Structure 1
């Protein structure tokens, strides 16, 4: 007989996770590092008014820029990580990274005077986190070498070319602003052409140079003569994996993938692992709950309607059975599907991410 694990409660858990993913996608979380002798530690800030007043003026301004967002939204939280001063090594930054390992952030920006060594450390940390299904993405100013990674946004601007009237910024000093914009973009939108109304100048590039930079996986700023804005919202990925898609280079697509992966994984871990017998019926209940979760995200504009699916991964299950010395040649697919697999649960799911409107062709006929 099927075990009674409470399908309605499990479905509600996944619906709550879907709602949480949708809400988080509207107003994400940013981690911003600054170096200061005062207020060292982690400060979770819901508004710029809560920035510690004892911090240096430049550090306060750097944190405040993370809150500005764009006309498409702003982050709901900025986690300020105040680390010790001194840049001779990466000890202070490494200690700061350890302080946020228990958190889940969307974008991070290093200190405004980030060193080359620290950039390498931040890259390594983000790649390691993402390998474990965390969703941090790094806004890295002027990387020494192309990161070629969907979790690294290579923000490339000539130092001091970013100007707001008489005030100029290096790329590193403006990284928190970019991280805040990206975190505040709703999932149905992208950061492409998100305006930066305070800027009066950016790095001068010809159209060909702009296109080359974007194709090289660089997030750059452009000025159309009226206002400054983000060009194409891309990450640094340029080498597409054999099992990947070209749109993995788009920040919007990766953001959606990250949210689904993270919330699906953590919901299963928190609400399912160790709680129920590993029977076929319980696996099917989990599949049903995941399917409902994905359908919710379709309605929220995260996934393309009608294309999401989830099922027991028969191929993976059969490989596991064979690794246990079980002969599967004479078994039907349904028999493999229903076979008891110890503590292992093999499920596969999929869908198609919804992109934003960025490229247009309009034909006008003068009749």
Structure 2
């Protein structure tokens, strides 16, 4: 039976030994969903002045929080999906599905759950996010922690049931938009660990042991250091490391680096290469050089370790493909294999080491040296 041609295939594989690399050409897009009788549909907001004026005040506050960002940056864009309010749980879920359909037409970095999401809707949002990421769309969901963790690198779970901002109480779901805005505004070379939250006067009280246990369980938590509230450690909900994965995938910054890479590869290949060039060795090398140039840019931006980037035609996969097509490869040199025609397929391998941010310090102070200096 002949093999089905199907749609053009874009296969991207992350491996610990050779992280697949490239980068988004943009960063900092947030997705929000609110329920309102007015202004239903999808809105592209570049500032708070573009928030629909006829929305309810609580919805306006939720959206404004997303634009706040942090001292490390603010989101550049908010995509707002306004869906119909429904009293019935089933109808509410259907309205949410409609909102997600709207958001599928745009590119997002972080999606916050609705501030009044039901348990069923949280499940729907989690399932939708996982499916998007399976399709190499690099959205990450910010949601409150539930009864059990999602255990997924694309799901960030805020475990702060109730916080205090001045005289007002703020729930975890109400704060997810704020967290999505913070994460989207973090520059490529920084993490969200220790980002201050000056408006919060109280967060969940935990001992040091409880804080460490929560972080190890994949919970994004807040702490107070005696002067201000801040993010304790930038972690996602991943706890179970896959066989071909890395413990670093639990860090929001590391996953953001991987997602920058995935976004660049997907959009660049789909938009600029699929169907547009003859599949020759020279054109493959042109694509290799283009990808490598971008990887080296990422090195300078603190995403990849300097000197760690590479990109080349994947000899092993190309050799296996030739064998599967009945080509006699025993007498072919390595260069002949690399230059051999491969139909519509392009096999590349690229990599680089993702750089984490400085978060843990050990500084030895010699008291005798200080005494002598005095």
Counterpart for residue 78 of structure 2: 78
**Alignment partner of 1:195: what SS?**
coil
**Alignment partner of 2:169: what SS?**
strand
Q: Would the alpha carbon gap of residues 119 and 104 (structure 1) be closer, same or farther in structure 2, given more than 3 Å must change? A: same
- Distance in 1 of aligned mates of 2:223 and 2:217: 16
Q: Would the alpha carbon gap of residues 238 and 320 (structure 1) be closer, same or farther in structure 2, given more than 3 Å must change? A: same
Q: Would the alpha carbon gap of residues 20 and 319 (structure 1) be closer, same or farther in structure 2, given more than 3 Å must change? A: closer
**Alignment partner of 2:363: what SS?**
coil
- Distance in 2 of aligned mates of 1:194 and 1:219: 12
Is the 2:279–2:346 contact (alpha carbons within 8 Å) kept by the matching residues of 1?
yes
- Distance in 2 of aligned mates of 1:254 and 1:19: 12
Q: CA deviation at 1:331?
A: 2.6
- Distance in 1 of aligned mates of 2:289 and 2:57: 53
| 2:155 counterpart of 1:152 | yes
Quote the RMSD (CA, aligned, Å).
1.3
Q: CA deviation at 1:143?
A: 2.3
Counterpart for residue 98 of structure 2: 95
- Distance in 2 of aligned mates of 1:300 and 1:110: 30
Counterpart for residue 335 of structure 1: 336
Counterpart for residue 199 of structure 2: 198
**Alignment partner of 1:233: what SS?**
coil
Q: CA deviation at 1:263?
A: 1.2
Counterpart for residue 4 of structure 2: none
Q: CA deviation at 1:276?
A: 1.4
Q: Deviations over 1:129-177 (max 9, x none)?
A: 111111110001122321111100011112xx30012100110011101
**Alignment partner of 2:249: what SS?**
helix
Q: Deviations over 1:320-341 (max 9, x none)?
A: 1121122323332222111110
Alignment of 1:52-131 (within 5 A): 52-86=52-86, 87-89=88-90, 90-131=93-134
258-267 vs 196-205, greater mean Cα deviation: 258-267
**Alignment partner of 1:34: what SS?**
strand
Q: CA deviation at 1:105?
A: 0.6
Q: CA deviation at 1:319?
A: 1.4
**Alignment partner of 1:169: what SS?**
strand
Counterpart for residue 296 of structure 1: 297
Count of equivalent residues: 344
- Distance in 1 of aligned mates of 2:156 and 2:24: 25
- Distance in 2 of aligned mates of 1:49 and 1:346: 47
Q: Would the alpha carbon gap of residues 19 and 215 (structure 1) be closer, same or farther in structure 2, given more than 3 Å must change? A: closer
**Alignment partner of 1:218: what SS?**
coil
- Distance in 2 of aligned mates of 1:250 and 1:281: 38
Counterpart for residue 267 of structure 1: 268
Counterpart for residue 51 of structure 1: 51
**Alignment partner of 1:154: what SS?**
strand
TM-score w.r.t. the length of structure 2 is: 0.90
Q: Deviations over 1:217-255 (max 9, x none)?
A: 100111111100111000011111121111111001111
Is the 2:154–2:236 contact (alpha carbons within 8 Å) kept by the matching residues of 1?
yes
**Alignment partner of 1:98: what SS?**
helix
- Distance in 2 of aligned mates of 1:350 and 1:275: 25
Q: Deviations over 1:66-117 (max 9, x none)?
A: 0011110110111111111125121000000001111101001121110111
Q: Deviations over 1:323-366 (max 9, x none)?
A: 11223233322221111100100001000111111010100112
Counterpart for residue 223 of structure 2: 222
Counterpart for residue 132 of structure 1: 135
| 2:257 counterpart of 1:256 | yes
**Alignment partner of 1:219: what SS?**
coil
- Distance in 1 of aligned mates of 2:23 and 2:261: 11
Q: CA deviation at 1:19?
A: 8.8
Q: Which runs of 5+ in 1 are unaligned?
A: 1-17
Q: Which runs of 5+ in 2 are unaligned?
A: 1-21, 369-374
